[in-house]
Structure 1
């Protein structure tokens, strides 16, 4: 299936000069969505993840059904103030400032195997921060899964040396 044909391109969003890759058109297509989850699950099955970690918010969209397909649990990594219990947190740098991610302190069991999933990897900052959060929790990072990779931004160079699965490259 040609997933690129299901991803809309929106010029000058969120600011002039940016070509935004909009996955809402992929999500509304039943066959495209099924193919995306099934293909990602097939490519990640051998990684042996105990948990799939998805970052707010589009990582939730793909992470939860992927966890279901892999027979794994799903753990959300959230923006500040969204989780009710005690959290582990990490601050990280964006091209326009700082941000922070949080996960419940009791989300992981030490030594568990984690697959991190998001819709897109661009500069890699959010994925890198999530990987550090997972590793600080005493877990073993087994890989990353992304629907889209923007190769020119070289985000994978910031990530730990584990398998990186992508379905569409630009």
Structure 2
């Protein structure tokens, strides 16, 4: 399947849900994409092809809780590398590094196990969606604390109007689908 055809298939499997989670928000729901094995396979294939071309020497895929866990493990499996979870606070055993970050209405915290990534290892961060960039920026901070090198941030959907990618600079963020 050609890349353009695969991207059309993905776009056709993203459902628009108006006024969720609050009035005025147009939510991009990936549930239809996940339940279509061809569309999901196309997403993983496109992410894999991008990483093989852009970063052939990646050591780990780190997925952000929770939907980064849907795309990260199959991508890591295809690349023959390890997967590392970045979780919400209180979900990981053992010593962890924690970072707080701002949400639209409050604060949140992400954690990673201190021994999850060795210093100097090359990591690609994966999530389903990039909006304001706060969660992804927090994940980058966790990698910095572990002295890992973040090669890139990788997402299925990017909401361009929220300018999340700008907040991640100088890191590059690659997205399969972009919406205003």
TM range (shorter): over 0.9
**Secondary structure, counterpart of 2:40 in structure 1:** helix
Unaligned runs of 5+ in 2: 1-5
Q: Is the 8 A contact 1:44 1:165 kept in 2?
A: no
Aligned to 1:149: 158
Superposition pairs of residues 17-166 of structure 1, within 5 angstroms: 17-45=24-52, 46-47=54-55, 48-166=57-175
Separation in 2 of the partners of 1:91 and 1:164? 21
Q: CA deviation at 1:71?
A: 1.5
Q: CA deviation at 1:84?
A: 1.1
Separation in 2 of the partners of 1:160 and 1:92? 17
Count, aligned residues:
170
Deviations 1:94-148 (A, max 9, x none): 1111000000011011100010000000000000010011011101110011000
Match of 1:14 among 21, 27, 37: 21
Give the TM-score normalised by structure 2.
0.92
Aligned to 2:3: none
Q: CA deviation at 1:163?
A: 2.9
Separation in 1 of the partners of 2:160 and 2:90? 32
Separation in 2 of the partners of 1:44 and 1:89? 27
CA RMSD of aligned residues (A): 0.8
Separation in 2 of the partners of 1:124 and 1:139? 19
Separation in 1 of the partners of 2:138 and 2:109? 9
Deviations 1:63-105 (A, max 9, x none): 1111111121000000111111110000011111100000001
Unaligned runs of 5+ in 1: none
